[in-house]
Structure 1
């Protein structure tokens, strides 16, 4: 059986590796989502493809240099489209909570 995995969520329609992107993948009935995880300075599992913040947020530098509070202040949506301004970088725990109760695989 062929399965469809959403690469960084529905990243063709939403900013990658964000809750919006993962919600989009659920709406599109993907079988699973592929995501990337990095550790914050204070040990939280942060969902972001790159090890740096530069490309997909308004932050600069390595994720591991920031604590969770600092990371949650960043905008992870505007780089994709201004309508996603204010989108936050999710924790892995938030993504797991989102897909609980669905048939989606991680």
Structure 2
């Protein structure tokens, strides 16, 4: 949510429960992430070149930490660019995690 607000100025959060997972989807209106870099942004210390500035701060660890926590809970993280602009981060977690 922090990245959505920082880079997209607002966050839209949706919680759904399809099948045997529940999904937390966080969407923003940011410029998105270039398709060729989507697989890299979850690597530790990876930052998109255009966002490196003293104004935004950060170390490039947020998505890496998020992905590790989600994996340890038996889930997975999906990042996709929205067709009309922005990014959606989906956290998929198995229901048994919460029983």
TM range (shorter): under 0.3
Q: What TM-score do the two structures reach when normalised by structure 1?
A: 0.26
